[in-house]
Amino acid sequence: MGAVARPFVFAWHFLTAVPLSHVHHDPTNKELAASMAWFPVIGLLIGGMLAGTDVVLELFLASEVVNAIVIVLLVLLTRGLHQDGLADTLDGLTGGSTPAERLSIMRDPRIGAIGATGLFLSLILRYAGLMALPDTLRVPALVCMPAVGRWAMVTTAWESPYARTEGGLAASFLTHLSWAHVLISTSILALALGLGFGLKSTMVMLMMGVGVVLALRAAYCSWFGGITGDTLGATNELMEILFLLILPLLLLLP
């Protein structure tokens, strides 16, 4: 049981701001890699909190207010980890001309103008995506959205080079990340999407997701020489937003 519980707890503590256990600590690299198989599960739990909050608040508040609160709750639950990664990635991409320069800029804890603008635009797009969701898709969309983003982090990280030669936080997760972890992660997401949207829509979303992941991986290798924790956070944000924006198109499928 401990071999299963520890990676789950590590995934929970890494991806959320909610303390779960004071017993499990000092993870090994193998346990950190194994924790990534749990990423979509953590996403589903976060999504369940978002969906539950949405259902309750919709009884009392206007949809515009509820959508804003849901976004705030998501940021609080994840302590803004992925938003920070997106901002740092954009600052590095636009502020440097070589991978080394970009990585150096990304280490700066301050957010630049481009990073702040990109973060602001991402929040607007997320809000617009929530506003455009059909009522019939709203609950499964909120439940699955965080799982999609976290699955994308796992699949982007698999077999990708780590950009920083001196190492970093994400490097510990990648050392022993295997195809088995990716398969478990993908299976969990596929099951959740299948229950929420049906087989045909699930196949379409997974194929599109794989395409986006491959494109992002190639871009990160070109821009930064590999991936970092910041680029994985940016991946999560981009995938969640794309998921919300594209989801209404599923209603057009025959």
- Give me the residue label for tokens 């999504």: 47
- Give me the residue label for tokens 């990073």: 115
The residue type at 250: L
pLDDT of residue 27: 83
| Cα Rg of the chain (Å, integer) | 18
Q: Are 11 and 39 in contact (CB under 8 A)?
A: yes
pLDDT of residue 170: 73
Q: Are 216 and 237 in contact (CB under 8 A)?
A: no
Torsion sign, CA atoms 138, 20, 239, 107:
positive
Q: Rounded to whole angstroms, how far apart are CA atoms 96 and 8?
A: 37
Q: Rounded to whole angstroms, how far apart are CA atoms 138 and 26?
A: 39
pLDDT of residue 6: 87
pLDDT of residue 237: 97
> What angle, rounded to 10 degrees, do the helices at 81-95 and 99-106 form?
140
Q: Residue 115: name the closest of 90, 82, 94, 97 by CA.
A: 90
Neighbour-count burial of 167, counting CB atoms closer than 10 A to its CB (0-12 exposed, 13-18 middle, 19+ buried)? exposed
pLDDT of residue 175: 79
SS3 167: coil
Scored b (16 or more CB within 10 A) or e, 55-88 reads eebeeeeeeeebbeebeebbeebbebbbbbbbbb
pLDDT of residue 131: 96
Structure tokens at 213: 């992941």
Neighbour-count burial of 206, counting CB atoms closer than 10 A to its CB (0-12 exposed, 13-18 middle, 19+ buried)? middle
SS3 227: strand
pLDDT of residue 166: 73
Please give the average pLDDT of every successive group of 10 residues along the chain, which has 254 residues. Answer: 76 90 76 94 98 96 97 96 95 93 92 95 97 94 98 94 78 85 97 95 95 96 94 97 92 72
